Amino acid sequence: MSACSSTEISFRGPPEEKLVTSTTRNILEKSTTQTPTLLPQTSTTVPPTAFSTEELIPVTSLQFEKEIAAETTLVITQPDTGKVQETENLDLIKEIIRTPTKNEPLSVVTIGDSVSYDADLGIKAVLESTKTVEVTNRSFGGVGLTQKGFQNYLDESLLIEPEVMTVMLGGWDLAFLEENQEEYEKIIEDSIEEILKVSSLIIWIGMPPTPKAEGLEESRHLVNEIYKEISNRKREVEFIDTNELLGNENGTFVRFLTAFDGGIHQIRKVRDGKDDGHLCPFGAALIGGSVFKKIAERFPLNQKEINWWSGEWTKDPRYDDPPGGCAHSFVK
């Protein structure tokens, strides 16, 4: 798959199966354009906005606030008596699982492919900035639910007994999905059930927008809609829409976004002079901020380091692969 580094060693795919169709493909007919997600930050930060070669699209700034752990929606009903009543929509309540402490930190494990590998350090930086979370990064290139060896990889990751697991993959599954959609959906559901035997919460991160030249967008939209639909049926699974997070106003690939310091920064790599699907530090930070927000709804967290997004982790060699791949400047 062209979105992954040429240096990766992938698992070998399973045998080809009989073509199976699913009604999930009809989901693609719906519009995927949504309002960009705003991340919790300090009062001096400006959240990410979409970028085009013509102009930067501004959005309203957002002050950092402690996320409300439980949200309740009141639904107005009209009984036969004509009297208006208010009832709670319990489906929208976010259950507090526990409050992590320094002595009893939250255990988080990240799994996924090479794009997840780039995101790992951003997730680790923001969560460990709380001093109440311990993150184990286990992502690497070539990981996919349908790749040979995935089950052993998942079993080993669960031996750490994470309370929360983040999952970010998809690219190595697209070919299998196109021919075996119903079977792929079953594989996702089985993997989720396996994780939930150990973990209390799964953060499933959607496959980010890919460069147009790679020709993967149709399949990417399909796999993300499947992830989202299955996640919506599971109270213990939260889905992160990367169309909103890393794309422009239409949810398509961009190389630059306005980030936490209000500046325009490169979020996706350049390889051989062309856009590449892998992440630069600011892209990893955007993923990390969104993961933080989702986890904090179930495990209350407080950031101790407000500049976590600009720490030493941003100098990791993975962000200089290929050399200079994240060193490009924004030109309006």
238/46: higher pLDDT: 238
Q: So what's the pLDDT on residue 93?
A: 61
Q: So what's the pLDDT on residue 304?
A: 86
Query: Average pLDDT in the 39-66 region?
Result: 33
99/93: higher pLDDT: 99
Give me the residues paired with residue 77 across strands.
85
Q: So what's the pLDDT on residue 32?
A: 36
Model confidence at 4, pLDDT cuts 50, 70, 90, reads low
Q: So what's the pLDDT on residue 244?
A: 87
Taking the C-alpha atoms of residue 244 and residue 204, their distance in angstroms, rounded to an integer, is: 15
Position 39 pLDDT exceeds 90: no
Provide the whole-model pTM: 0.75
Position 81 pLDDT exceeds 90: no
Q: What percent of the chain has pLDDT over 70?
A: 72
Position 149 pLDDT exceeds 60: yes
| In the chain, where the domains are located | 37-320
Taking the C-alpha atoms of residue 22 and residue 40, their distance in angstroms, rounded to an integer, is: 37
Q: So what's the pLDDT on residue 94?
A: 78
Q: So what's the pLDDT on residue 310?
A: 93
Computed over every residue of the chain, the mean pLDDT equals 80
Query: Average pLDDT in the 21-44 region?
Result: 36
Q: So what's the pLDDT on residue 303?
A: 84
Give tens-digit pLDDT for 235-269. 999 999 999 899 999 999 999 998 888 899 999 99
Q: Shortest CA distance to 314 belongs to which of 124, 138, 133?
A: 124
Q: So what's the pLDDT on residue 86?
A: 42
Give tens-digit pLDDT for 192-246. 999 999 999 999 999 999 999 999 999 999 999 999 999 999 999 999 999 989 9
What are the distances in angstroms from CA 330 to CA 9, 23, 33, 238, 247?
32, 42, 24, 33, 16
Q: Shortest CA distance to 128 belongs to which of 241, 245, 283, 295?
A: 295
Query: Average pLDDT in the 113-119 region?
Result: 98
Backbone φ, ψ for residue 105 (5° rounding): -70, 160
Pick the CATH number of 37-320 from 3.40.50.300, 1.10.3720.10, 3.20.20.70, 3.40.50.1110: 3.40.50.1110
